[in-house]
Amino acid sequence: MYDVLRASYRFHCPHRPEGQLRTVALSRFRSIERLPGAAHPAVFRVTYLCDCGDDHVGLVAHDDLDYGPIAATPVEFRNLVTGRTEPVAGELVELTRAQVQKGNWPWKLFCGREAKLKPVFPSSLALVSPADSELVGVAMHCPSCGELSLNVVSEAHLDVPFYHDRVVRLIDRPFLDSRDLTVDDFHERLWSAGFDAERAKLAS
């Protein structure tokens, strides 16, 4: 499901049913919604921007969504020095363990209510939308307080586990109630005239 070497999830493209799975980085997800019912494992409905240019919908198990990027998915790569095919899962698990022990976490986003960066998982994201050429807007349900926060981050901040932007921008409290946040509201907010001003005064 997850392609560790490309830091991407893999999905079918309905336009190419016989074709190879397409790689889709987290920053190209557009919405993530937990399906009611299924619990073991939980299943998420993901809308993603495919490299064919269309948005598609796929289902992802909770483990794949949150742990695929950091866990022991068996991976082999061709070592160009030795010419041998070698497994890398053990090294990746070791890297993850060392980072978490240092207090680093694969993904962090800024919670407006708590006014601090919080460790999150991909399943904490509700909506993702391009904000400008290099930035994406993220609507995040904080795992600790449940509040919805809107952040603006680089693609790499989402796509590369343990990599964090120096500044994570928060769009402060745009909605009275998180249930009011529709995709259209979110886009409008990201592109609103106040966006630049808000970005400039935001906390790190």
Where do contacts with Zn ion occur on this chain (CB under 5 A)? 13, 15, 50, 52, 111, 114, 142, 144-145
What is the closest distance, in whole angstroms, from the C-beta atom of residue 15 to Zn ion in the complex? 5
Tell me, what DSSP letter sits at residue 200? H
20 vs 101, which CB is nearer to Zn ion? 20
The least distance separating Zn ion from the CB of residue 114, rounded to whole angstroms, comes to 4
The β-bridge partners of 86 are: 77
Nearest CB to Zn ion, comparing residues 71 and 105: 105
Look at the alpha carbons of 24, 27, 30, 34 in this order and tell me if their dihedral is positive or negative: positive
Report the C-alpha gap between 102 and 196 in whole angstroms. 34
Tokens of 202: 């935001």
Question: DSSP alpha helices (H): ranges in the chain?
Answer: 62-67, 89-101, 155-159, 183-191, 195-200
Instruction: Give 15 or 84: the residue with its C-beta nearer to Zn ion.
Output: 15
Chain center to CA of 147: 18
Shortest reach from residue 149's CB to Zn ion, in Å: 7
| Phi (first) and psi of residue 53, to 5 degrees | 100, -10
Between 58 and 137, CB nearer to Zn ion: 58
Min. distance of Cβ 7 from Zn ion in angstroms?
19
Pick between residue 96 and residue 108 the one whose CB is nearest to Zn ion.
108
Q: How far is the CB of 22 from Zn ion (least distance, A)?
A: 6
- Other C-beta atoms closer than 10 Å to the C-beta of 26 total 25
